[in-house]
Chains A and B, each alone.
Chain A
């Protein structure tokens, strides 16, 4: 076993995903199977290999900090689950 049910529960909290007991059980088995397959990577010695980084063009790209779009709060708020005037309305964060 690569993966326990307790680890699945821990990762689900990190991922902010509520899982049912049935989902936890199925994911434990499936992820365990997939992670076992991933173990084949350990056949390769990578001690002196650098990790992949952006391959084809690595320089940072800078541009002038200039507003190019038209402000349109209504269009952005149109997709909000809840709003109050020109604000997004969200659940309380602080008690």
Chain B
């Protein structure tokens, strides 16, 4: 039996039945990493020694306590933009160097408290700025389904690690699609919760009005279990929502009778891959055959979302990244005076995409351009949110593609930033409006690359999107397929 290939709920049940120990499970995962990560390159830092220690402690707890969290003893990979106490955190940037966090992000503390085993830190686009994990300052991650393809981004390392069975589940962050798009590219499940549902404390800030933490898993039930641990109010994050958390696994009833599914023509644009449109429409048809009703809705401002996002997100990023000045932590260059030290430290420490976004954001916020770009974008953002509010009067969820194409080739879009930005076209309006959305597998193209379907919900209705996702998943076999790494 290949233990690393288990889902979270399977592994958790078998740990409780003593079929194997948490140490054996953890060792199986590290064995899998040893045989595959020279090809996939999902991890930036491995934490084998501490992981085995955590697994030993989990085994002790498993003997004593049968009511504990389903995460107890489960190997989980963490994107390298979460602070992990005593475990190197880089955000895939040279400017952080060998930064050693003095505290844990709330998510990491929640995982540790639940008894999860942290396998290591996964690769990402530098500062989570990218859609392919190619902007990592260290190396690109490869898609386990076809190694010459991107795994998506920015949580490409986490999604690839889940797809390659290099962990049982993972956590990522999503500012414009960074959980959902890599989940789609790698054929796994990824959920971006409502803004405020999960604490942002201790994640390295990119665009604070949109950043959100979420699970990346092998199936929808795992996604519900992991979200259960992450969701909730955190006094350390003033934007975290103080409202009750539903029992997500209880929402997985497989019953979607009478549920109203919004279908928007704006999400099926020219230039999208035909197989993606067909697979997503087929998914909607299956939901309809299962008792759901289709409502045709309008989201007329969708085509403006990319422009709005790349103004708002870069403006926020330019401000958030001002802290990397080489004074208290991170890279500092030798220079003749203070201003030069700032300018050269940042020039040496940041990569090309990060510099481009800092420049764009600084420009959009600078005197004379603020009204034309930043303020204009924030007004159009209001219209995008209103579109969703209006649509959700007529439907319970909205079903769309997650990305316009399957995973593209490494290097294919690096020379054209605007084309790269347009690959986020279906995911970013969800962040602009602060809504929850999940991506799960709904087919494969003729090259054998996975296709993702996105289900968007009303604020704080993660339970509803999980219910729809689970009902669809249980009608299909897509989530059971596994990549054969390195077989072409």
Q: How many whole Å from B377's CB to the nearest CB in chain A?
A: 7
Task: Tell me the bound Cα distance from A29 to B253 in angstroms.
Answer: 53
A38 touches B311 (CB 8 A): yes
B102 within 8 A of A: yes
Q: How many whole Å from B353's CB to the nearest CB in chain A?
A: 11
A37 touches B418 (CB 8 A): yes
**B329 neighbours in A (Cβ, 8 Å):** 79-81
B380 touches A55 (CB 8 A): no
B301 touches A44 (CB 8 A): yes
Interface 9-residue window, one of B146-154, B267-275, B354-362, B398-406 = B354-362
B248 within 8 A of A: no
Task: Tell me the bound Cα distance from A16 to B337 in angstroms.
Answer: 13
Given contacts A38-B373, A56-B196, A63-B235, contact A11 B359 (CB under 8 A): yes
Interface positions of A from 43 to 77, Cβ below 8 Å from B: 44, 46, 49-52, 54-57, 61, 63, 69, 72, 75-76
A91 touches B341 (CB 8 A): yes
**B382 neighbours in A (Cβ, 8 Å):** 49-52
B418 touches A33 (CB 8 A): yes
- CB nearest to A47 among chain B residues: B379
Residues 17-49 of chain A: 1 if any B CB is under 8 Å from the residue's CB, otherwise 0?
111000100010011011101101110101001
A6 within 8 A of B: no
Q: Which one of A7, A13, A51 has the greatest number of beta carbons of chain B within 10 Å?
A: A51
B342 touches A7 (CB 8 A): no
**B110 neighbours in A (Cβ, 8 Å):** none
Residues 326-349 of chain B: 1 if any A CB is under 8 Å from the residue's CB, otherwise 0?
111111100101111111101100
A14 touches B418 (CB 8 A): no
**B103 neighbours in A (Cβ, 8 Å):** 69
**B346 neighbours in A (Cβ, 8 Å):** 15-18
Which residue from B338, B379, B417, B432 sits with its C-beta under 8 Å from A46? B379
**B196 neighbours in A (Cβ, 8 Å):** 56-57
